Amino acid sequence: MTQDTTGFIHRFEPGPDTTRPLMLLHGTGGDENDLLPLGRMVAPEAALLAPRGGVSENGMPRFFRRLAEGVFDEADLRRRTGDLAAFVAASRARYGLGAPLALGFSNGANIAASLLMLRPETLTGAVLIRPMVPFAEPPAADLAGRPVLILSGAMDPIVPVENARRLAQQLSASGARVEHRILPAGHGLSQADVSQALAWLRSLPGPEAA
């Protein structure tokens, strides 16, 4: 566990591939350790960077505040997105990394989507597991050619599939290459998420070809 000058407690696991590391963004109540096994399963060669969200909701770490279930504090989300972008820049310099691809679950997927919209230069792409639309009015962003995989649960009681479809449309309208897959799952992670993310990541061209 490390803490750098941007204030994020995080874990860094080296890997042979530092050109496109995987940044792992946990869900509500998770921490910097939660998604490391998943990251290693879906990207065995990648360096892994896993920050802990800096907001506490009843003792549960999150990446930004919410006003109610599914209602985000958008001003806080914007500020925390800037903080996370600064953390990525500092981590790239510290560990000698290329721009990361984000893998986020739930709350982590939502801030990854916000990063794509507000600070698109930060990420080379993203795997968004159970995300929802982060902003009532989507910011304009240039995501030309950026690969994004969205994995929704058909039986998710928290995020309606239609909400995830809107996010896919917003990212596509900004130029991202979006694949949206609806799995026979609820809100939690499933084996299908692992196999879908693994196959999708393997299908991506190398960073030098992107």
Domains with residue ranges and CATH for the chain = 2-204 (3.40.50.1820)
Q: Helix, strand or coil for residue 94?
A: helix
Residues 51-55, mean pLDDT to the nearest whole number: 96
Which entry of 73, 83, 187, 190 is annotated as an active-site residue? 187
Structure-block tokens of residue 149: 């995989």
Q: For residue 67, with 0-12 CB atoms within 10 Å meaning exposed, 13-18 middle and 19 or more buried, which class applies?
A: exposed
Separation of alpha carbons 135 and 133, rounded Å: 6
Separation of alpha carbons 28 and 14, rounded Å: 25
Predicted TM-score (pTM) of this structure: 0.95
Residue 94 has pLDDT above 50, yes or no: yes
- Establish whether 190 is a catalytic residue: no
Count CB atoms within 10 A of the CB of residue 137: 7
Percentage of residues in the chain having pLDDT higher than 70: 95
Q: Name the phi and psi angles at 161, rounded to 5.
A: -55, -35
What was the pLDDT predicted at 64? 97
Q: How far is CA 81 from the centre of its chain?
A: 11
Which entry of 156, 174, 180, 193 is annotated as an active-site residue? 156
Which entry of 106, 114, 152, 174 is annotated as an active-site residue? 106
Q: What is the pLDDT of residues 121-141, one digit of tens each?
A: 999 999 999 999 999 999 999
- Establish whether 26 is a catalytic residue: no
Per mean pLDDT, which range of 30-39, 68-77, 151-160 is the poorest? 68-77
Q: Classify each residue of 20-49 as buried b or exposed e, where b means 16 or more C-beta atoms within 10 Å of its C-beta.
A: bbbbbbbbbebbbebbbebbbebbeebbbb
Residues 18-37, mean pLDDT to the nearest whole number: 97
What was the pLDDT predicted at 210? 41
